[in-house]
Structure 1
Amino acid sequence: MSAPDWRRLRGVPLFATLPEAGLRRLWETSVPRHYARGETLRSQGTPADHLLVLLDGTASASATTTAGRVVRFGTWAGPCALDKVALLDGAGHTATVTALTPCAVRAVPRGRFTALLDDSATVRAHVFRLLATQARAQQERLTDTATLPCEARLAAWLLDGLGRDGTDGHVPLPGGQRELADLLGVTRVTVNRALSRLRRDGLIGPTENGGGRIRVLAPELLALRATQYTRHSR
């Protein structure tokens, strides 16, 4: 672990504009929580009385439709703030958040978070900009899920993971192929076939570490595969 105090909050994008005094107050009023792999941090629809700040670990967000299908919204690695929208609209958590790895969390009371928005126009503007950016990215991802072939979606996901986590050329796959299939909006068989095609073409290597990570061999060619079917190239 890095610095075991309020300085750890500096890495959370949501708090980028907060001065030192504000970070200290957040830390002092927050409650530490630890979750083992597979544990539920929060359940869809339950009251959002705290902002969950993920300091260490990786978590996924999902929702279950009325037909019983699980929809994956994505995975998040700390440091970051989870399900911020639920704190603003008061309608309960938008998804079920599950620990994919052991997670260290600070739970910030909702009143403390909303007070930040009320007290500082700078903080308020930053938070709304961040939410707007994330909403736009989510909309683009949903559009791609509905229109792009699985192979293009998979290539884009691998490139995103490579830029975020894969400094050694590997992309973590903490939830396995089932989690990846749900995230891409396809079946496990479909995502398995797409992985096989990328391996056959020499873009990625065999799944390593017991299926826990994928080695990217040709990121430039992977980028071409990701953009081959985009709206701009049609």
Structure 2
Amino acid sequence: MVLYHAIQTGVGVDGHGWRRLRDVPLFARLPDADLVALWNVSVPRRYAAGEVLRMQGEPADHLLVLLSGSTAASAATAGGRVVRFGTWRGPCALDKVALLDRAGHTATFTAVGACSVRAVPRARFMTLLDDSAAVRAHVLRLLAAQARAQQDRLTVTMTLPCEARLAAWLLEAAADSGPLVSLPGSQQGLADLLGVTRVTVNRALSRLRGDGLVRPAPDGRIELLAPELLAQRATRHS
């Protein structure tokens, strides 16, 4: 009776809105009863901007479900260099791969702003993976997409100069945000993402600004002035 009431009202047995899990792509096709069960077995967490959700290499005992907010993923190389992978916005499930191989979290996840998270025990996630064809298919698509993206990024890093990489990143970011693009934390964060130094990024931004392709906005974002010309720069090899 309690479970029936929860499904009808959209409020979990613990008094919270389990329907928020429906917006997470990984869980989008699960029956309501499974969503209620997931909600009630998960642990709620809130993080302020700058707080670390998980550290690279830490045991992945829970699946982190980011309900709202954004988190940046980064990793340190053996030589101490920080590599930034990008920013993830909720609702989404973070670092699913780490739960599969048990080798620890693949990156350090840091809250960009205030974040609301549900932590699902790994055992429950693995059971879901075994029982749900939809969840298995989603994870397989994710792994395939990650492998392809990694290959594409390696190709870009090895063949394109910084200005072309920067132009490509600005266009990709603008596809989600519009002509005003926020840097991933700072110029240093952008440098880590592109695999270059902050000085190199600063010079590339200056060239794009000098050519009238972008300009700094008063709030610190970058405004794209000529996306079609920026697209030409994104494919330039020299």
Q: Deviations over 1:73-92 (max 9, x none)?
A: 21111111111110111111
More displaced 10-residue stretch of structure 1: 138-147 or 98-107: 138-147
CA contact (8 A) 1:208 1:214 kept: no
CA contact (8 A) 1:204 1:218 kept: yes
Work out whether residues 45 and 92 of structure 1, in 8 Å CA contact, stay in contact via their aligned partners in 2.
Answer: yes
Q: In the alignment, which of 29, 36, 39 is matched to residue 51 of structure 2?
A: 39
Q: In the aligned structure 1, how far is the partner of 2:98 from the partner of 2:206?
A: 39
Tell me how far apart the structure 2 counterparts of residues 208 and 13 of structure 1 sit (CA, whole Å): 35
Aligned to 2:99: 87
Deviations 1:143-168 (A, max 9, x none): 2123211111111111111112x13x
Cα distance change on mapping 1:172 and 1:19 into 2, 3 Å: farther
Q: Does the CA contact (< 8 Å) of 2:129 and 2:136 recur in 1?
A: yes
Aligned match for 2:166, one of 154, 160, 163:
154
1:199: Cα distance to partner? 1.1
Partner of 1:203: 213
- CA gap of 1:193–1:207, structure 2 versus 1, over 3 A, is farther
* Structure-to-structure mapping, 1:116-155, within 5 angstroms: 116-155=128-167
Give the distance between the partners of 2:30 and 2:225, measured in 1 at CA: 40
Q: Does 1:220 align with 2:228?
A: yes
* Partner Cα distance (1:130, 1:197) in 2: 36
Superposed structure 1 runs of 4+ greater than 6 Å apart: none
Q: Which amino acid aligns with 2:91?
A: P
CA distance in structure 1 between the partners assigned to 2:27 and 2:167 by the alignment:
31
Normalised by the size of structure 1, how large is the TM-score?
0.89
TM-superposed deviation, 1:228: 3.0
Alpha-carbon deviations, 1:164-210, whole Å to 9, x = none?
2x13x21122401110000100000100111111111221112431x
Deviation at 1:9, TM superposition (A): 2.1
Secondary structure of 2:181's counterpart equals strand
RMSD, aligned CA: 1.9
How many residue pairs get aligned? The number is 224
**Partner of residue 65 from structure 1, selected from 65, 73, 77:** 77
State the distance in 2 between where 1:134 and 1:55 align.
21
Distance in structure 2 (CA, Å) of the matches to 1:14 and 1:195 = 37
- Separation in 2 of the partners of 1:159 and 1:195? 14
Inter-CA distance 141–114: structure 2 relative to 1 (3 Å threshold)? same
Classify the secondary structure of the residue corresponding to 2:212: coil
Rounded Cα–Cα distance in structure 2 between residues aligned with 1:142 and 1:55: 31
CA contact (8 A) 1:63 1:71 kept: yes
SS in 2 for 1:68: coil
Please list every run of 5 or more consecutive structure 2 residues that lacks an aligned counterpart in the other structure. 1-10
| TM-score normalized by the length of structure 2 | 0.87
The answer on whether the counterparts of 1:208 and 1:215 sit within 8 Å (CA) in structure 2 is: no
Match of 1:109 among 84, 105, 121: 121
**Percent identical residues:** 71
Task: Give 1:21's aligned amino acid.
Answer: A
